[in-house]
Amino acid sequence: MTQVTIERSAEIETEEPTEPLKVVRVRHWGRWAVSAVIILLIAQFLWSLVANEKYGWGTFGEYFFSDAVLDGLLMTLWLTVISIVGGFIIGTVLAVFRLSSSTLLNAVAWWYIWFFRSVPILVQVLVWYNLGYLYPRLGLGTPFTDDFWIFSFPTTSLLTAFAAVAIGLTLHQAAYSAEIIRGGIVSVDAGQTHAAAALGLPRRVRFFRIILPQAARSILPAGFNEIVGQVKGTSVAFIVALPELFYSVQVIYGRNQQIIPLLLVAVVWYAIITTVLSVVQYYVERRFSRGTVDLPPTPIYRAKKQITDLWHRLGEEDGKASPAVTSQTDTVTSYTDKESV
């Protein structure tokens, strides 16, 4: 002990401990109280789910796996896949245009993104579906005229409801994806491009093997956000009466008036999709984090560790009973003479 400490707290802390000092953690009584209230509220809510017959779980059960709902679900997934895959492909091209040194390409991409971020998706789908209102015939003819056609066909027969929604969602998604991908590419250190160029790597290799995998780390979280959003975003298909999940559910409650149970059917399916996507996201992100020193442990591992830690800590606070504790106190007490007690 130095003199400084003696001066600072002479009475208590300089006393030689007569036995191993016990460490008492700060008790967070407030936290415990709040936690108890929250648990109570959650329990109450869960109970109401069961006890409140307005939730109509019987109706829920009847429709959850009904053909109409499953067909709708399939339509939703199909639209999501098309628009996300198509959107990210077009988006990648747009992002590359945006980063290109060509003023024209840059401007084209900028205006594309501006346009499709400005137009509500609902309006876009409606316009695609009714393209015949604006352009009654499409085909090949003399430019800037509409009376001479080499061949043409009526527009109304061109775009089905499905095509209108798929095109609308894809073009819409492309604008958002482009910005996400551009953000990812910009976040990659410029030195990477220099190094790849210095090695003489072809442009394609440079982009797909070097830049994109690194950009993916910042693209993925935002990208999965888009996918999850798009699953629900496909419900704009109602405007052209395309039976995706949400529309199918609406049609059913139009008949039987069981609004809440059928909305729950949709909600639970959306929750299932989101859950699956979240798990996929977690592992895909881990895959692209390769090369960073410490991969965070998986949630399963973390949960296991938290439980074991809690178990040990509870034992420790209690005193001597747990062997894990004795070994810890050993290191503390090794400086004092146990026999002197």
**Residue selected from 108, 259, 277, 284 as contacting other proteins according to rule CB under 8 A:** 259
Q: State the number of binding residues for other proteins (CB under 8 A).
A: 77
Phi, psi of 19 (to 5 degrees): -145, 170
70 near other proteins, judged by CB under 8 A:
no
Structure tokens at 291: 């090369």
Provide the β-strand partners of residue 154.
Answer: 137
59 touches other proteins (CB under 8 A): yes
Q: What are phi and psi of 154, to 5 degrees?
A: -65, 135
For other proteins, which is the closer residue by CB, 117 or 287? Answer: 287
Q: How far is the CB of 240 from other proteins (least distance, A)?
A: 6
144 φ, ψ (degrees, to nearest 5)? 65, 15
**Contact region for other proteins (CB under 8 A) — 15-23, 24-32, 45-53, 270-278?**
45-53
Site membership for other proteins, residue 17 (CB under 8 A):
no
Q: What's the CA gap between 126 and 161, in Å, rounded?
A: 9
Pick the binder of other proteins from 173, 261, 266, 270 (CB under 8 A).
261
Q: How far apart are CA 215 and CA 217, in angstroms?
A: 5
Structure tokens given for 33: 């109280």
285 touching other proteins, by CB under 8 A: no
Give the DSSP H/E element, type plus range, for residue 153: strand 149-154
**What count of other Cβ atoms lies within 10 Å of the Cβ of residue 303?**
11
Q: Which of 108, 260, 277, 284 binds other proteins (CB under 8 A)?
A: 260
Q: How far is the CB of 69 from other proteins (least distance, A)?
A: 10
Q: Applying CB under 8 A, which part among 12-20, 91-99, 274-282, 315-323 lies near other proteins?
A: 315-323
Residues 24-43 that bind other proteins (CB under 8 A): 43
What residues numbered 173-192 form the site for other proteins, per CB under 8 A?
189, 191-192
* DSSP state at residue 128: H
